[in-house]
């Protein structure tokens, strides 16, 4: 991340910090500093204790005073810091451009010898792995509209239903074969959307009766299958872009374990990604 992108992120943090209600007791270290330290550590792929060492800072971010590791960890989990992170995520995403939302998931495996009790084994490309899974709904411009981190063994279908409820898509909704379920077609139709999931082999030719929304999706696949397949690949490219720069979402490091920490790490990576997209758009 360039210095220009970091300044843009820090301005958003300061704006949200000033907007939210102030705590009754003024802390020694304000919440904007705590949140900025968290992003500084995630940006450099370092643990939170690394952010409490002054020698790890340089321009454009040089805080005068730093809290202890225990205080930093405690403050970062506080409700106000979590509210700042959530609001920064909303502002960094920008305006919704979900003309054709894309649904997919990405595995986040951990090491085979990891002692993380919340990591679970699940299916990945080419076999099985143990860890977590990032479920995402993305726009055509590569922005995360909704996301959720679960254990690796959680099915994509029920999580997709939650994300559809959050995004309330209208028009075409693209997904892969893991989302080919009748109740997802009906759920998307409630908000005016038409799910187009990659049909399974023999879909529509069995003895079971298909619901109307899934029948429409299969008919669209028969007539425009090649175009739909090419458009659905866009989200794979976005996932690749999310990892192809310094500070992007690489495989989970050894110190990011348990569900809450993984979700907080992924959230920071998504915010950094959105800020980078916004700055690149301004420079274009």
pLDDT digits (tens, 9 = 90+) for 195-236: 999 988 767 666 677 789 999 999 999 899 899 989 988 999
Among the residue ranges 4-8, 137-141, 191-195, 208-212, the one predicted with the least confidence is: 208-212
Evaluate if residue 7 carries a pLDDT over 70: yes
150 near 114, Cβ under 8 Å?
no
Cβ-count burial 148-164 (b if 16+ within 10 Å, e if not): bbbbbebebeebbbebb
- Give burial (CB, 10 Å; 0-12/13-18/19+) of 68: exposed
Q: How many Å is the maximal CA-CA distance in the chain?
A: 71
Q: What is the mean pLDDT of residues 115-143?
A: 93
Residue 167 has a CB neighbour count (10 Å cut-off) of 20
Evaluate if residue 32 carries a pLDDT over 80: yes
Per-residue confidence (pLDDT) for residue 99, from 0 to 100:
73
Confidence of residue 95 (pLDDT cuts 50, 70, 90): low
Per-residue confidence (pLDDT) for residue 284, from 0 to 100:
65
Per-residue confidence (pLDDT) for residue 184, from 0 to 100:
96
Per-residue confidence (pLDDT) for residue 68, from 0 to 100:
97
- Give burial (CB, 10 Å; 0-12/13-18/19+) of 194: middle
Evaluate if residue 270 carries a pLDDT over 90: yes
Portion of the chain with pLDDT greater than 70, in percent: 96
Q: What is the mean pLDDT of residues 156-175?
A: 94
Give the Cα separation of 160 and 181 in Å (integer): 11
Evaluate if residue 43 carries a pLDDT over 70: yes
Cβ neighbors of 21 (< 8 A, separation 6 or more) are none
Q: What is the mean pLDDT of residues 50-59?
A: 95
Per-residue confidence (pLDDT) for residue 98, from 0 to 100:
56
| Reported pTM | 0.93
Cβ neighbors of 93 (< 8 A, separation 6 or more) are 143, 144, 145, 274
Evaluate if residue 153 carries a pLDDT over 90: yes
Per-residue confidence (pLDDT) for residue 160, from 0 to 100:
96
């Amino acid at each position: 991340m360039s210095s220009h992108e970091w300044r843009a992120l820090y301005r958003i943090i300061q704006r949200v910090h000033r907007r939210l209600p102030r705590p009754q007791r003024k802390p020694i270290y304000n919440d904007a500093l705590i949140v900025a330290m968290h992003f500084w550590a995630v940006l450099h792929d370092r643990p939170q204790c690394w952010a409490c060492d002054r020698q790890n800072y340089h321009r454009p971010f040089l805080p005068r005073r730093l809290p202890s590791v225990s205080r930093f960890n405690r403050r970062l989990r506080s409700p106000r810091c979590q509210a700042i992170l959530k609001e920064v995520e909303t502002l960094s995403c920008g305006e919704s451009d979900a003309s054709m939302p894309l649904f997919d998931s990405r595995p986040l495996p951990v090491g085979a010898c990891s002692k993380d009790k919340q990591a679970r084994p699940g299916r990945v490309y080419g076999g099985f792995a143990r860890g977590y899974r990032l479920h995402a709904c993305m726009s055509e411009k590569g922005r995360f509209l909704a996301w959720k981190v679960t254990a690796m063994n959680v099915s994509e279908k029920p999580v997709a239903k939650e994300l559809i409820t959050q995004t309330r898509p209208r028009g075409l909704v693209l997904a892969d074969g893991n989302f080919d379920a009748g109740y997802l077609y009906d759920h998307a139709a409630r908000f005016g959307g038409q799910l187009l999931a990659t049909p399974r082999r023999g879909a529509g030719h069995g003895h079971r009766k298909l619901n109307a929304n899934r029948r429409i999706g299969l008919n669209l696949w028969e007539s425009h299958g090649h175009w739909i397949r090419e458009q659905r690949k866009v989200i794979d490219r976005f996932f690749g872009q999310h990892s192809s720069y310094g500070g992007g979402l690489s495989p989970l490091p050894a110190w990011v374990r348990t569900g809450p920490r993984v979700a907080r790490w992924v959230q920071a990576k998504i915010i950094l990604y959105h800020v980078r997209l916004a700055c690149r758009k301004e420079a274009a």
